[in-house]
């Protein structure tokens, strides 16, 4: 059964159109309240700082209250902080109003169970089933309460301060933080200063409409410039809701999710800890596959989306996985992608190896990988069309064993992503443009 509202990472849409309207979020709150067990009352709600988040969070809370559930509005928090609060406070469930790396015109809602993990497909389908019939459900005789609690940010900050590095561990390190005008804008600067680093802050003045705007993990230009100008040791970038991490080394070079995953894997092996395998995705760089293979570690490719990385980790009993986009999961430290925690673990690995970021990433050769997006306005694109598949086979034949092609539809936007990977950047880029032209001619 296909889901109508939930995508690969919760529900997401343009604000002002269903499902991102106050009325729709109220109905969703009512539906969710009906799915929760009768004994479970409390739901935690966080938000990112985009201008629509607060009103949508209150509408969702009102829906919960109408069905007898109590809601706690926690204010602006990184998404992984909500997962942490689930494990810490044990509510029935937690929700965060955020569209992650999307622009402010979009918003979304993600859910975490009482264990801090995202909901299963079956649970999301059940919510949708109730949602479609919510008008037939009676309002509760005794409404729930809606209260505000602004202490969660300090609880999460204390967790990050106390469970990774010792105070002043980063003394002497110069770094630049890009908070993407998003949910990490208060916590991240306070944390890294507490750890003793000299910190330059970028994009930490959210005004509701500048979230992810030419900054953060999806646009590293400002961070690279600042790292070089400040002669900093490295740069750290989060996305709007704080579940992604991208880094920049002292030379201004990008260190992406695949390289960060390699650093964490190599550090685990250096500590003598078991690592049977690592979970990546269909987008994971061939260089990561080869670097892990040299260490006798398998890389399993899951579908794109951190929920699928998590599912594969749980099925295999492994602890480490992630995406090239910067979602990194280390199940010994948390239940979801956490940009701040991941940054701390990378810094921990650097300190242990006594190497700079540019040095510690050298164990992996990153293949040139070109990704081009094709936006479409309605319907879908048939990527299995014979002409498209024939063009893909020609490119794959030319690239040989040290290259590959991946075509996929985005799970969150009306985009088709065309990825080509190989040893020669110019060749890879030319093939990617060829495939885009074929798809546009054939399917648009």
Q: Read off the CATH number of the domain in which 425 is found.
A: 3.30.310.50
The pLDDT of residue 378: 67
For residue 16 the two structure tokens come to: 């002002």
End position of a domain, from candidates 310, 342, 363 = 363
Alpha-carbon span 137 to 25, nearest angstrom: 16
Residue 414 lies in a domain: yes
One domain for residues 178 and 116: no
Token pair 């650097």 is at which residue? 350
Q: Read off the CATH number of the domain in which 294 is found.
A: 3.40.120.10
One domain for residues 373 and 328: no
One domain for residues 266 and 347: yes
One domain for residues 25 and 131: yes
End position of a domain, from candidates 363, 387, 409 = 363
Alpha-carbon span 262 to 365, nearest angstrom: 10
Give the side-chain half-sphere CA count within 13 A for 415: 10
Question: CA of 391: how far to CAs of 151, 283, 386, 429, 431, in Å?
Answer: 56, 20, 9, 15, 10
One domain for residues 288 and 418: no
The pLDDT of residue 410: 79
Residue 340 lies in a domain: yes
What is the 3-state secondary structure of 59-113? HHHHHHHHCCCEEEEEEECCHHHHHHHHHHHCCCEEEEECCCCCCCCEEEEEEEE
One domain for residues 20 and 145: yes
Residue 286 lies in a domain: yes
One domain for residues 224 and 180: yes
What is the 3-state secondary structure of 245-278? EEEEECCCCEECHHHHHHHHHHHHHHCCCCCCEE
Residue 46 lies in a domain: yes
The pLDDT of residue 1: 63
One domain for residues 72 and 112: yes
> Structural domain of residue 124, as residue ranges?
11-151
Quick one: which of 274, 277, 273 has its CA closest to 261?
Answer: 277
One domain for residues 250 and 262: no
One domain for residues 61 and 192: no
Q: What pLDDT tens digit does each residue of the chain (444 aa) get?
A: 689 999 888 999 999 999 999 999 999 999 999 999 888 789 999 999 999 999 999 999 999 999 999 999 999 999 999 999 999 999 999 999 999 999 999 999 999 999 999 999 899 999 999 999 999 999 999 999 999 999 999 999 999 999 999 999 999 999 999 999 999 999 999 999 999 999 999 999 999 999 999 999 999 999 999 999 999 999 999 999 999 999 999 999 999 999 999 999 999 999 999 999 999 999 999 999 999 999 999 999 999 889 899 999 999 999 999 999 999 999 999 999 999 999 999 999 999 999 999 999 999 999 999 999 998 876 677 889 999 999 999 999 999 999 999 998 876 678 899 999 999 999 999 999 999 999 998 876
Token pair 């009768």 is at which residue? 38
One domain for residues 401 and 430: yes
Give me the catalytic one of 52, 98, 100, 342. Answer: 100
Strand segments (E) across 314-441: 320-322, 328-330, 369-375, 404-409, 415-421
Q: Which residues contact 273 (CB under 8 A, 6 or more apart)?
A: none
377 classed as catalytic: no
Token pair 């000299």 is at which residue? 198
Q: Which residues contact 77 (CB under 8 A, 6 or more apart)?
A: 46, 47, 85, 96, 152, 153, 156, 183
Residue 2 lies in a domain: no
Q: Cα–Cα–Cα angle for 342, 315, 339, nearest 5°?
A: 10
Q: How many domains does the chain have?
A: 4
One domain for residues 395 and 289: no
Residue 87 lies in a domain: yes
């Amino acid at each position: 059964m296909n889901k109508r509202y939930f995508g690969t990472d919760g529900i997401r849409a343009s604000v002002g159109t269903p499902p991102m309207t106050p009325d729709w979020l109220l109905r969703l709150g009512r539906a969710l309240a009906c799915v929760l067990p009768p004994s479970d009352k409390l739901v935690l709600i966080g938000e990112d700082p985009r201008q629509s988040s607060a009103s949508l969070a209150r509408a969702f809370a009102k829906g919960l209250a109408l069905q007898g559930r109590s809601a706690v509005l926690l204010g602006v928090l990184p998404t992984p902080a909500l997962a942490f609060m689930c494990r810490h406070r044990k509510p029935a469930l937690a929700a965060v109003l955020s569209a992650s790396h999307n622009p402010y015109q979009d918003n979304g809602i993600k859910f975490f169970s009482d264990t801090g993990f995202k909901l299963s497909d079956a649970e999301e389908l059940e919510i949708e089933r109730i949602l479609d019939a919510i008008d037939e459900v009676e309002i509760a005789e005794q409404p729930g309460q809606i209260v505000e609690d602004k202490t969660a940010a300090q609880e999460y900050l204390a967790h990050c301060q106390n469970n990774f590095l010792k105070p002043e561990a980063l003394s002497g390190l110069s770094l630049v933080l890009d908070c993407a005008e998003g949910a990490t804008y208060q916590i991240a600067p306070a944390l890294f200063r507490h750890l003793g680093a000299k910190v330059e802050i970028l994009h930490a003045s959210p005004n509701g409409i500048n979230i992810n705007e030419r900054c953060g993990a999806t646009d590293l230009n400002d961070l690279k410039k600042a790292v070089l100008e400040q002669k900093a040791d490295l740069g750290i970038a989060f996305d709007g809701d704080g579940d992604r991490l991208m880094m920049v080394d002292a030379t201004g070079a990008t260190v992406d999710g695949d390289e960060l995953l390699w650093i964490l894997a190599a550090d685990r092996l250096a500590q003598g800890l078991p690592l049977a395998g690592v979970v990546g995705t269909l987008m994971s760089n061939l260089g990561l596959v080869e670097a892990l293979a040299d260490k006798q570690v398998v890389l399993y490719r899951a579908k794109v989306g951190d929920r699928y990385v998590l599912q594969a980790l749980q099925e295999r009993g492994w602890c480490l996985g992630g995406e090239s986009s910067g979602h990194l999961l280390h199940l010994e430290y948390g239940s979801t992608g956490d940009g701040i925690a991941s940054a701390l673990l990378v810094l921990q690995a650097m300190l242990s190896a006594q190497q700079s970021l540019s040095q510690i990433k050298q164990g992996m050769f990153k293949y040139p990988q070109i990704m081009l997006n094709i936006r479409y306005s309605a319907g879908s694109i048939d990527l299995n069309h014979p002409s498209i598949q024939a063009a893909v086979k020609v490119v794959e034949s030319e690239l040989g064993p040290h290259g590959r092609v991946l075509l996929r539809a985005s799970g969150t936007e009306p985009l088709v992503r065309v990825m080509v990977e190989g040893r020669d950047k110019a060749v890879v880029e030319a093939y990617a443009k060829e495939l885009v032209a074929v798809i546009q001619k054939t399917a648009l």
